[in-house]
A and B are shown apart, each in its own frame.
Chain A
Amino acid sequence: MIKVAKIHKFYLNNKYIVLDVNSGGVHVVDKIVYDILDLYEDHTREDIVIKLKSIYGEKAVIDAYNEIAILVKEGILFSEENNFDFKYNESNIIKAMCLHVAHDCNLKCNYCFASQGNFKGERSLMTLEVGKKALEFLAKNSGNRKNLEVDFFGGEPLMNFQLVKELVKYGREIEKIYNKNFRFTITTNGVLLDDEKIEFINENMDNVVLSLDGRKEINDNMRQTINGEGSYDIILPKFKKMVEKRGNKDYYIRGTFTNKNIDFSKDALDFYNNGFKKISIEPVVTSEEMDYALRAEHLDEVLKEYEKFSQDYINIKRKDKDFYFFHFMIDLNQGPCIIKRAVGCGAGSEYVAVTPEGDLYPCHQFVGEKEFLLGNIEDGVLNTELRDKFKNSNVYTKEECRSCWARFYCSGGCHANAYYSHTDISRPYKLGCEMEKKRIECAISILANLEE
Protein backbone atom coordinates (compact mmCIF):
# COMPACT_ATOMS: atom_id res chain seq x y z
CA MET A 1 0.00 0.00 0.00
CA ILE A 2 1.28 3.48 -0.88
CA LYS A 3 2.04 5.55 2.16
CA VAL A 4 0.00 8.71 1.84
CA ALA A 5 1.90 11.77 2.96
CA LYS A 6 0.19 13.72 5.71
CA ILE A 7 2.27 16.84 5.19
CA HIS A 8 3.91 18.61 2.30
CA LYS A 9 6.91 20.85 2.87
CA PHE A 10 8.83 23.11 0.54
CA TYR A 11 11.25 26.02 0.48
CA LEU A 12 10.38 28.95 -1.73
CA ASN A 13 10.93 32.70 -1.71
CA ASN A 14 13.14 32.38 1.40
CA LYS A 15 10.52 30.56 3.45
CA TYR A 16 10.33 27.06 4.81
CA ILE A 17 6.69 26.11 4.59
CA VAL A 18 4.72 23.10 5.78
CA LEU A 19 1.17 22.22 4.75
CA ASP A 20 -0.90 19.79 6.72
CA VAL A 21 -2.78 18.01 3.97
CA ASN A 22 -5.90 16.83 5.79
CA SER A 23 -6.60 19.76 8.11
CA GLY A 24 -5.51 22.53 5.73
CA GLY A 25 -3.11 23.90 8.35
CA VAL A 26 -0.25 26.00 6.94
CA HIS A 27 2.90 26.83 8.87
CA VAL A 28 6.02 28.87 8.19
CA VAL A 29 8.84 27.21 10.08
CA ASP A 30 12.50 27.57 10.89
CA LYS A 31 14.99 25.23 9.24
CA ILE A 32 15.30 23.23 12.46
CA VAL A 33 11.59 22.37 12.38
CA TYR A 34 11.80 21.64 8.67
CA ASP A 35 14.50 19.07 9.40
CA ILE A 36 12.80 17.53 12.41
CA LEU A 37 9.64 16.98 10.38
CA ASP A 38 11.49 14.49 8.17
CA LEU A 39 12.10 12.34 11.23
CA TYR A 40 9.10 13.08 13.40
CA GLU A 41 6.80 10.22 12.51
CA ASP A 42 9.37 7.42 12.57
CA HIS A 43 11.74 8.42 15.36
CA THR A 44 11.57 9.12 19.07
CA ARG A 45 12.40 12.54 20.42
CA GLU A 46 15.64 11.15 21.84
CA ASP A 47 16.70 9.76 18.46
CA ILE A 48 15.98 13.08 16.80
CA VAL A 49 18.01 14.94 19.42
CA ILE A 50 20.95 12.61 18.78
CA LYS A 51 20.72 13.13 15.04
CA LEU A 52 20.36 16.90 15.00
CA LYS A 53 22.00 18.27 18.16
CA SER A 54 25.35 18.75 16.46
CA ILE A 55 23.71 21.13 14.01
CA TYR A 56 21.26 23.00 16.21
CA GLY A 57 22.13 22.21 19.84
CA GLU A 58 20.18 19.94 22.16
CA LYS A 59 17.89 22.51 23.75
CA ALA A 60 16.81 23.98 20.43
CA VAL A 61 15.97 20.54 19.03
CA ILE A 62 13.89 19.70 22.09
CA ASP A 63 12.08 23.04 22.02
CA ALA A 64 11.33 22.79 18.30
CA TYR A 65 10.19 19.20 18.71
CA ASN A 66 7.82 20.26 21.47
CA GLU A 67 6.33 22.99 19.30
CA ILE A 68 5.64 20.42 16.60
CA ALA A 69 4.01 18.16 19.19
CA ILE A 70 1.63 20.95 20.21
CA LEU A 71 0.42 21.41 16.63
CA VAL A 72 0.04 17.67 16.21
CA LYS A 73 -2.13 17.63 19.32
CA GLU A 74 -4.17 20.53 17.97
CA GLY A 75 -4.83 18.52 14.82
CA ILE A 76 -3.11 20.87 12.39
CA LEU A 77 0.05 18.87 11.73
CA PHE A 78 0.28 15.20 10.73
CA SER A 79 -3.49 15.03 10.99
CA GLU A 80 -5.31 11.94 9.84
CA GLU A 81 -7.60 11.73 6.86
CA ASN A 82 -11.15 12.93 7.45
CA ASN A 83 -13.44 9.96 7.24
CA PHE A 84 -16.96 11.20 6.97
CA ASP A 85 -20.12 10.35 5.18
CA PHE A 86 -19.38 12.23 1.98
CA LYS A 87 -22.50 13.47 0.25
CA TYR A 88 -22.55 15.79 -2.71
CA ASN A 89 -25.47 17.38 -4.52
CA GLU A 90 -27.92 14.57 -3.86
CA SER A 91 -30.78 16.73 -5.13
CA ASN A 92 -28.97 17.44 -8.42
CA ILE A 93 -29.20 21.15 -7.97
CA ILE A 94 -27.85 23.30 -10.79
CA LYS A 95 -26.56 26.72 -9.80
CA ALA A 96 -24.21 27.88 -12.52
CA MET A 97 -24.53 28.11 -16.26
CA CYS A 98 -22.29 28.98 -19.14
CA LEU A 99 -24.56 30.45 -21.75
CA HIS A 100 -23.17 30.13 -25.28
CA VAL A 101 -25.04 33.03 -26.78
CA ALA A 102 -22.97 33.00 -29.97
CA HIS A 103 -21.23 30.12 -31.63
CA ASP A 104 -19.42 32.52 -33.86
CA CYS A 105 -16.40 34.73 -33.45
CA ASN A 106 -14.76 37.76 -35.01
CA LEU A 107 -11.26 36.53 -34.20
CA LYS A 108 -9.62 33.28 -35.25
CA CYS A 109 -7.26 32.52 -32.38
CA ASN A 110 -5.04 29.56 -33.16
CA TYR A 111 -5.47 27.84 -29.82
CA CYS A 112 -9.23 28.31 -29.41
CA PHE A 113 -10.85 25.25 -27.81
CA ALA A 114 -14.08 26.42 -29.42
CA SER A 115 -12.60 25.85 -32.89
CA GLN A 116 -12.67 29.56 -33.69
CA GLY A 117 -16.04 29.95 -32.07
CA ASN A 118 -18.29 27.33 -33.59
CA PHE A 119 -17.34 24.32 -31.42
CA LYS A 120 -17.00 22.11 -34.52
CA GLY A 121 -20.60 22.80 -35.52
CA GLU A 122 -22.51 25.36 -37.55
CA ARG A 123 -22.12 29.01 -36.72
CA SER A 124 -25.20 30.04 -34.79
CA LEU A 125 -26.65 32.60 -32.41
CA MET A 126 -28.89 31.84 -29.46
CA THR A 127 -32.46 33.09 -29.77
CA LEU A 128 -34.29 35.02 -27.07
CA GLU A 129 -36.64 32.09 -26.61
CA VAL A 130 -33.81 29.65 -25.90
CA GLY A 131 -32.04 32.16 -23.66
CA LYS A 132 -35.14 32.79 -21.56
CA LYS A 133 -35.82 29.08 -21.22
CA ALA A 134 -32.23 28.54 -20.13
CA LEU A 135 -32.57 31.10 -17.34
CA GLU A 136 -35.88 29.58 -16.29
CA PHE A 137 -34.32 26.13 -16.35
CA LEU A 138 -31.57 27.35 -14.05
CA ALA A 139 -33.96 29.08 -11.66
CA LYS A 140 -36.25 26.05 -11.50
CA ASN A 141 -33.46 23.55 -10.98
CA SER A 142 -31.55 25.50 -8.38
CA GLY A 143 -33.38 24.23 -5.30
CA ASN A 144 -32.61 26.39 -2.30
CA ARG A 145 -29.53 28.04 -3.81
CA LYS A 146 -29.88 31.79 -3.73
CA ASN A 147 -26.92 32.89 -5.85
CA LEU A 148 -27.02 31.71 -9.44
CA GLU A 149 -24.17 32.35 -11.85
CA VAL A 150 -24.62 32.95 -15.53
CA ASP A 151 -21.64 33.60 -17.76
CA PHE A 152 -22.32 34.96 -21.23
CA PHE A 153 -19.88 33.09 -23.37
CA GLY A 154 -19.26 32.16 -26.97
CA GLY A 155 -17.66 32.19 -29.44
CA GLU A 156 -17.86 35.88 -28.87
CA PRO A 157 -20.91 36.98 -26.85
CA LEU A 158 -20.78 40.59 -28.03
CA MET A 159 -21.83 39.27 -31.45
CA ASN A 160 -25.22 38.66 -29.86
CA PHE A 161 -25.25 41.57 -27.45
CA GLN A 162 -28.89 42.51 -27.89
CA LEU A 163 -29.74 39.07 -26.51
CA VAL A 164 -27.35 39.58 -23.59
CA LYS A 165 -29.15 42.80 -22.70
CA GLU A 166 -32.57 41.22 -22.95
CA LEU A 167 -31.55 38.22 -20.88
CA VAL A 168 -30.16 40.40 -18.12
CA LYS A 169 -33.47 42.23 -18.05
CA TYR A 170 -35.39 38.96 -18.06
CA GLY A 171 -33.16 37.53 -15.33
CA ARG A 172 -33.90 40.53 -13.11
CA GLU A 173 -37.61 39.92 -13.63
CA ILE A 174 -37.63 36.22 -12.83
CA GLU A 175 -35.21 36.40 -9.92
CA LYS A 176 -37.98 38.10 -7.97
CA ILE A 177 -40.43 35.34 -8.82
CA TYR A 178 -38.03 32.55 -7.90
CA ASN A 179 -36.32 34.42 -5.04
CA LYS A 180 -32.89 34.17 -6.62
CA ASN A 181 -29.94 36.44 -7.24
CA PHE A 182 -28.43 36.14 -10.70
CA ARG A 183 -24.76 36.98 -10.87
CA PHE A 184 -24.08 37.76 -14.49
CA THR A 185 -20.61 37.67 -15.97
CA ILE A 186 -19.28 37.90 -19.51
CA THR A 187 -16.18 36.56 -21.25
CA THR A 188 -15.23 38.67 -24.26
CA ASN A 189 -12.45 39.32 -26.75
CA GLY A 190 -13.38 43.00 -26.73
CA VAL A 191 -13.40 43.59 -30.48
CA LEU A 192 -16.95 44.93 -30.49
CA LEU A 193 -16.77 46.90 -27.25
CA ASP A 194 -18.03 50.46 -27.49
CA ASP A 195 -19.15 53.03 -24.94
CA GLU A 196 -22.68 51.73 -24.77
CA LYS A 197 -21.63 48.13 -24.24
CA ILE A 198 -19.00 49.12 -21.69
CA GLU A 199 -21.60 51.01 -19.73
CA PHE A 200 -24.10 48.18 -19.82
CA ILE A 201 -21.52 45.56 -18.84
CA ASN A 202 -20.10 47.65 -16.03
CA GLU A 203 -23.53 48.26 -14.65
CA ASN A 204 -24.87 44.72 -14.92
CA MET A 205 -22.03 42.22 -14.80
CA ASP A 206 -20.54 41.11 -11.48
CA ASN A 207 -17.36 40.12 -13.26
CA VAL A 208 -15.93 40.36 -16.76
CA VAL A 209 -13.23 38.20 -18.26
CA LEU A 210 -11.29 40.11 -20.91
CA SER A 211 -9.29 37.96 -23.29
CA LEU A 212 -5.88 39.26 -24.36
CA ASP A 213 -2.44 37.66 -24.28
CA GLY A 214 -0.12 40.24 -22.79
CA ARG A 215 2.66 41.57 -25.02
CA LYS A 216 1.60 42.78 -28.46
CA GLU A 217 3.79 40.37 -30.40
CA ILE A 218 2.63 37.41 -28.30
CA ASN A 219 -1.02 38.37 -28.64
CA ASP A 220 -0.83 39.06 -32.35
CA ASN A 221 0.86 35.75 -33.04
CA MET A 222 -2.11 33.82 -31.69
CA ARG A 223 -5.08 36.17 -31.63
CA GLN A 224 -5.75 37.38 -35.13
CA THR A 225 -8.66 38.96 -36.92
CA ILE A 226 -10.50 37.11 -39.65
CA ASN A 227 -8.20 38.90 -42.14
CA GLY A 228 -5.16 37.51 -40.36
CA GLU A 229 -4.09 40.76 -38.75
CA GLY A 230 -3.06 41.26 -35.15
CA SER A 231 -5.88 42.19 -32.77
CA TYR A 232 -3.86 43.90 -30.04
CA ASP A 233 -4.16 47.48 -31.23
CA ILE A 234 -7.90 47.11 -31.76
CA ILE A 235 -8.56 45.62 -28.34
CA LEU A 236 -6.14 47.17 -25.87
CA PRO A 237 -7.63 50.70 -25.85
CA LYS A 238 -11.12 49.25 -25.41
CA PHE A 239 -10.12 47.11 -22.46
CA LYS A 240 -8.30 50.02 -20.89
CA LYS A 241 -11.38 52.17 -21.17
CA MET A 242 -13.58 49.41 -19.81
CA VAL A 243 -11.39 48.85 -16.77
CA GLU A 244 -10.96 52.55 -16.10
CA LYS A 245 -14.72 52.97 -15.99
CA ARG A 246 -15.33 49.82 -14.00
CA GLY A 247 -14.41 51.26 -10.63
CA ASN A 248 -14.10 48.66 -7.92
CA LYS A 249 -16.07 45.94 -9.66
CA ASP A 250 -14.33 42.69 -10.48
CA TYR A 251 -12.70 41.90 -13.76
CA TYR A 252 -9.89 39.71 -14.99
CA ILE A 253 -7.74 40.28 -17.98
CA ARG A 254 -7.09 36.75 -19.11
CA GLY A 255 -4.27 35.57 -21.29
CA THR A 256 -3.13 32.21 -22.51
CA PHE A 257 0.47 31.09 -22.60
CA THR A 258 1.84 28.50 -24.99
CA ASN A 259 5.32 27.13 -25.55
CA LYS A 260 5.95 30.31 -27.55
CA ASN A 261 5.77 32.46 -24.42
CA ILE A 262 6.83 30.36 -21.47
CA ASP A 263 8.26 33.64 -20.17
CA PHE A 264 4.64 34.61 -19.49
CA SER A 265 5.57 36.66 -16.43
CA LYS A 266 6.58 39.30 -18.97
CA ASP A 267 3.02 39.25 -20.29
CA ALA A 268 1.67 39.62 -16.77
CA LEU A 269 3.97 42.57 -16.16
CA ASP A 270 2.97 44.04 -19.50
CA PHE A 271 -0.65 43.87 -18.36
CA TYR A 272 0.29 45.55 -15.11
CA ASN A 273 2.22 48.29 -16.87
CA ASN A 274 -0.84 48.92 -19.02
CA GLY A 275 -2.91 49.54 -15.91
CA PHE A 276 -4.54 46.12 -15.48
CA LYS A 277 -4.38 44.86 -11.94
CA LYS A 278 -6.49 41.71 -11.95
CA ILE A 279 -4.78 39.19 -14.12
CA SER A 280 -5.20 35.58 -15.09
CA ILE A 281 -2.78 33.82 -17.43
CA GLU A 282 -3.59 30.24 -18.27
CA PRO A 283 -1.64 27.40 -19.82
CA VAL A 284 -2.93 26.58 -23.29
CA VAL A 285 -5.33 23.66 -23.56
CA THR A 286 -4.66 21.79 -26.77
CA SER A 287 -3.55 18.54 -28.26
CA GLU A 288 0.14 17.68 -27.77
CA GLU A 289 0.71 17.58 -31.51
CA MET A 290 0.14 21.30 -31.98
CA ASP A 291 3.39 23.15 -32.47
CA TYR A 292 2.56 25.64 -29.69
CA ALA A 293 1.40 22.97 -27.17
CA LEU A 294 2.87 22.68 -23.70
CA ARG A 295 4.52 19.28 -23.37
CA ALA A 296 6.52 17.47 -20.71
CA GLU A 297 9.73 18.89 -22.17
CA HIS A 298 8.53 22.42 -21.28
CA LEU A 299 7.53 21.68 -17.73
CA ASP A 300 10.73 22.63 -15.89
CA GLU A 301 10.87 25.94 -17.62
CA VAL A 302 7.20 26.64 -16.87
CA LEU A 303 7.63 25.82 -13.18
CA LYS A 304 10.69 28.07 -12.95
CA GLU A 305 8.68 30.83 -14.59
CA TYR A 306 5.96 30.54 -11.94
CA GLU A 307 8.64 30.81 -9.26
CA LYS A 308 10.21 33.80 -10.95
CA PHE A 309 6.83 35.49 -11.28
CA SER A 310 6.04 34.81 -7.63
CA GLN A 311 9.12 36.83 -6.68
CA ASP A 312 8.08 39.69 -8.98
CA TYR A 313 4.59 39.41 -7.53
CA ILE A 314 5.81 39.81 -3.95
CA ASN A 315 7.76 42.90 -4.94
CA ILE A 316 4.78 44.48 -6.69
CA LYS A 317 2.35 43.52 -3.91
CA ARG A 318 4.52 45.27 -1.34
CA LYS A 319 3.92 48.51 -3.21
CA ASP A 320 0.49 47.83 -4.67
CA LYS A 321 -1.89 45.62 -2.72
CA ASP A 322 -4.51 45.82 -5.46
CA PHE A 323 -2.51 43.67 -7.87
CA TYR A 324 -3.91 40.15 -8.25
CA PHE A 325 -2.89 37.11 -10.24
CA PHE A 326 -5.74 34.62 -10.14
CA HIS A 327 -3.63 31.54 -9.47
CA PHE A 328 -1.56 33.20 -6.77
CA MET A 329 -4.59 34.19 -4.76
CA ILE A 330 -5.36 31.94 -1.86
CA ASP A 331 -7.65 32.30 1.07
CA LEU A 332 -6.35 30.20 3.91
CA ASN A 333 -8.81 31.25 6.56
CA GLN A 334 -12.07 32.06 4.80
CA GLY A 335 -11.67 29.52 2.03
CA PRO A 336 -14.10 26.85 0.95
CA CYS A 337 -15.35 23.93 3.02
CA ILE A 338 -14.00 20.43 2.60
CA ILE A 339 -16.92 19.37 0.43
CA LYS A 340 -16.28 22.10 -2.13
CA ARG A 341 -12.58 21.29 -1.98
CA ALA A 342 -13.30 17.64 -2.70
CA VAL A 343 -15.56 18.13 -5.72
CA GLY A 344 -14.11 21.17 -7.46
CA CYS A 345 -15.90 23.08 -10.18
CA GLY A 346 -19.11 21.06 -10.16
CA ALA A 347 -19.16 20.59 -13.94
CA GLY A 348 -21.87 18.23 -15.14
CA SER A 349 -23.67 18.47 -11.84
CA GLU A 350 -23.98 21.98 -10.37
CA TYR A 351 -22.60 23.64 -13.48
CA VAL A 352 -23.68 23.19 -17.09
CA ALA A 353 -23.09 24.81 -20.45
CA VAL A 354 -25.98 25.63 -22.79
CA THR A 355 -25.49 25.81 -26.57
CA PRO A 356 -27.34 28.24 -28.86
CA GLU A 357 -29.73 25.36 -29.65
CA GLY A 358 -30.46 24.74 -25.96
CA ASP A 359 -28.40 21.57 -25.55
CA LEU A 360 -26.79 20.93 -22.19
CA TYR A 361 -23.15 19.87 -21.72
CA PRO A 362 -21.16 19.34 -18.51
CA CYS A 363 -19.14 22.50 -19.17
CA HIS A 364 -18.11 24.84 -21.96
CA GLN A 365 -15.05 22.76 -22.78
CA PHE A 366 -17.15 19.69 -23.62
CA VAL A 367 -19.56 21.48 -25.92
CA GLY A 368 -19.72 19.77 -29.29
CA GLU A 369 -18.46 16.40 -28.00
CA LYS A 370 -21.46 14.23 -28.77
CA GLU A 371 -20.85 11.67 -26.04
CA PHE A 372 -21.00 14.48 -23.50
CA LEU A 373 -24.47 15.68 -24.42
CA LEU A 374 -26.32 15.78 -21.10
CA GLY A 375 -29.77 16.79 -22.29
CA ASN A 376 -31.49 20.03 -23.22
CA ILE A 377 -33.29 22.92 -21.58
CA GLU A 378 -36.74 21.56 -22.55
CA ASP A 379 -36.36 18.08 -21.11
CA GLY A 380 -33.59 18.70 -18.60
CA VAL A 381 -30.75 16.30 -17.90
CA LEU A 382 -31.52 13.08 -19.75
CA ASN A 383 -28.16 11.37 -19.55
CA THR A 384 -28.20 10.86 -15.80
CA GLU A 385 -25.47 8.25 -16.05
CA LEU A 386 -23.12 10.91 -17.41
CA ARG A 387 -24.18 13.37 -14.72
CA ASP A 388 -23.47 10.76 -12.05
CA LYS A 389 -20.09 10.07 -13.55
CA PHE A 390 -19.14 13.73 -13.16
CA LYS A 391 -20.72 13.94 -9.74
CA ASN A 392 -18.76 10.97 -8.52
CA SER A 393 -15.47 12.12 -9.91
CA ASN A 394 -13.75 13.82 -7.00
CA VAL A 395 -10.59 13.70 -4.90
CA TYR A 396 -11.90 10.70 -2.97
CA THR A 397 -12.59 8.67 -6.12
CA LYS A 398 -9.65 9.64 -8.36
CA GLU A 399 -6.82 7.28 -7.61
CA GLU A 400 -4.03 9.72 -8.40
CA CYS A 401 -5.56 12.38 -6.15
CA ARG A 402 -5.78 10.06 -3.18
CA SER A 403 -2.08 10.36 -2.47
CA CYS A 404 -1.53 13.92 -3.68
CA TRP A 405 -0.85 16.67 -1.14
CA ALA A 406 -2.56 19.30 -3.32
CA ARG A 407 -5.94 17.60 -3.54
CA PHE A 408 -7.79 20.03 -1.29
CA TYR A 409 -6.48 23.04 -3.25
CA CYS A 410 -7.01 21.95 -6.85
CA SER A 411 -9.96 19.70 -6.00
CA GLY A 412 -9.04 17.05 -8.49
CA GLY A 413 -8.30 19.37 -11.36
CA CYS A 414 -10.22 20.13 -14.51
CA HIS A 415 -12.44 17.36 -15.92
CA ALA A 416 -11.91 18.61 -19.45
CA ASN A 417 -8.13 18.66 -19.05
CA ALA A 418 -8.36 15.07 -17.80
CA TYR A 419 -10.57 13.95 -20.65
CA TYR A 420 -8.54 15.58 -23.40
CA SER A 421 -5.30 14.11 -22.09
CA HIS A 422 -6.50 10.57 -21.21
CA THR A 423 -10.04 10.32 -22.64
CA ASP A 424 -10.98 9.63 -19.04
CA ILE A 425 -12.29 12.25 -16.62
CA SER A 426 -11.05 10.26 -13.65
CA ARG A 427 -7.38 10.49 -14.64
CA PRO A 428 -5.96 13.94 -13.97
CA TYR A 429 -3.90 15.79 -16.59
CA LYS A 430 -0.37 15.30 -15.30
CA LEU A 431 1.18 18.45 -16.70
CA GLY A 432 -1.71 20.46 -15.29
CA CYS A 433 -1.21 18.84 -11.87
CA GLU A 434 2.46 19.80 -11.77
CA MET A 435 1.70 23.38 -12.76
CA GLU A 436 -1.10 23.61 -10.23
CA LYS A 437 1.10 22.30 -7.44
CA LYS A 438 3.72 24.90 -8.23
CA ARG A 439 1.11 27.65 -8.29
CA ILE A 440 -0.14 26.62 -4.85
CA GLU A 441 3.40 26.64 -3.46
CA CYS A 442 3.95 30.07 -4.99
CA ALA A 443 0.66 31.36 -3.60
CA ILE A 444 1.47 30.25 -0.07
CA SER A 445 5.04 31.50 -0.19
CA ILE A 446 3.70 34.87 -1.34
CA LEU A 447 1.34 34.96 1.60
CA ALA A 448 4.14 34.02 3.97
CA ASN A 449 6.25 36.89 2.68
CA LEU A 450 3.47 39.44 2.71
CA GLU A 451 2.36 38.51 6.23
CA GLU A 452 5.66 39.74 7.63
Chain B
Amino acid sequence: MQYIKTLSGKNLKNTIAKGGCGECQTSCQSACKTSCTVGNQKCENN
Protein backbone atom coordinates (compact mmCIF):
# COMPACT_ATOMS: atom_id res chain seq x y z
CA MET B 1 0.00 0.00 0.00
CA GLN B 2 1.14 3.49 -0.79
CA TYR B 3 -0.75 5.53 1.77
CA ILE B 4 -1.33 3.15 4.66
CA LYS B 5 1.06 1.13 6.77
CA THR B 6 -0.70 -1.38 9.00
CA LEU B 7 1.02 -1.82 12.38
CA SER B 8 -1.43 -4.44 13.54
CA GLY B 9 -3.73 -6.41 11.34
CA LYS B 10 -4.63 -8.80 14.09
CA ASN B 11 -8.36 -9.07 14.42
CA LEU B 12 -9.69 -9.37 17.95
CA LYS B 13 -12.64 -11.32 16.61
CA ASN B 14 -10.26 -14.17 15.88
CA THR B 15 -9.38 -14.40 19.56
CA ILE B 16 -12.91 -15.22 20.65
CA ALA B 17 -12.63 -18.93 19.90
CA LYS B 18 -9.42 -19.61 21.85
CA GLY B 19 -9.67 -16.69 24.25
CA GLY B 20 -10.37 -16.50 27.95
CA CYS B 21 -7.90 -19.16 29.09
CA GLY B 22 -6.95 -16.87 31.97
CA GLU B 23 -3.25 -17.74 32.03
CA CYS B 24 -2.05 -14.22 31.33
CA GLN B 25 -0.74 -11.91 34.00
CA THR B 26 -3.08 -9.92 36.20
CA SER B 27 -2.41 -6.54 34.73
CA CYS B 28 -2.38 -4.42 37.84
CA GLN B 29 -0.13 -6.76 39.84
CA SER B 30 2.82 -6.34 37.57
CA ALA B 31 3.92 -2.74 37.87
CA CYS B 32 1.35 -0.21 38.84
CA LYS B 33 -1.07 -1.50 41.52
CA THR B 34 -3.30 1.53 40.96
CA SER B 35 -4.59 1.53 37.41
CA CYS B 36 -5.56 -0.87 34.70
CA THR B 37 -3.88 -1.27 31.36
CA VAL B 38 -4.44 -4.54 29.63
CA GLY B 39 -3.29 -3.60 26.13
CA ASN B 40 0.33 -4.02 27.14
CA GLN B 41 -0.02 -7.52 28.53
CA LYS B 42 1.10 -10.56 26.61
CA CYS B 43 -1.08 -13.48 25.64
CA GLU B 44 0.27 -16.75 27.03
CA ASN B 45 -1.78 -18.90 24.73
CA ASN B 46 -0.56 -17.82 21.30
Contacts and interface: CB of A to CB of B under 8 A. Distances in A.
Q: Chain A CB within 10 Å — which of B1, B18, B37 has the most?
A: B37
A67 B15 contact: no
Q: Is the interface of A mostly helix, strand, loop or mixed?
A: mixed
A413 B32 CA distance: 13
Interface of B: 1-13, 15-16, 18-46
Contact of B23 (A70, A146, A187, A447): A146
A68 B4 contact: yes
17 contacts: A26-B6, A71-B6, A74-B9, A146-B23, A326-B31, A327-B32, A331-B41, A334-B42, A335-B43, A336-B41, A338-B13, A338-B16, A340-B38, A345-B26, A409-B37, A412-B36, A439-B37
Nearest to A143: B22
The 4 closest A-B pairs by CB, nearest first: A337-B19, A332-B8, A409-B39, A337-B15
Interface of A: 22-30, 32-33, 63-64, 67-68, 70-71, 74-76, 79, 82, 84, 87-89, 93, 95-96, 98, 113, 145-147, 149, 151, 153, 183, 185, 187, 207, 209, 252, 254, 278, 280, 282-283, 285, 326-327, 329-341, 344-347, 350-351, 363-365, 408-414, 416-417, 432, 436, 439-440, 443-444, 447-448, 451
Contact of A95 (B3, B11, B26): B26
Contacts, number: 221
A5 B40 CA distance: 23
Nearest to B15: A337
Contacts of A410: 36-39
A251 B22 CA distance: 23
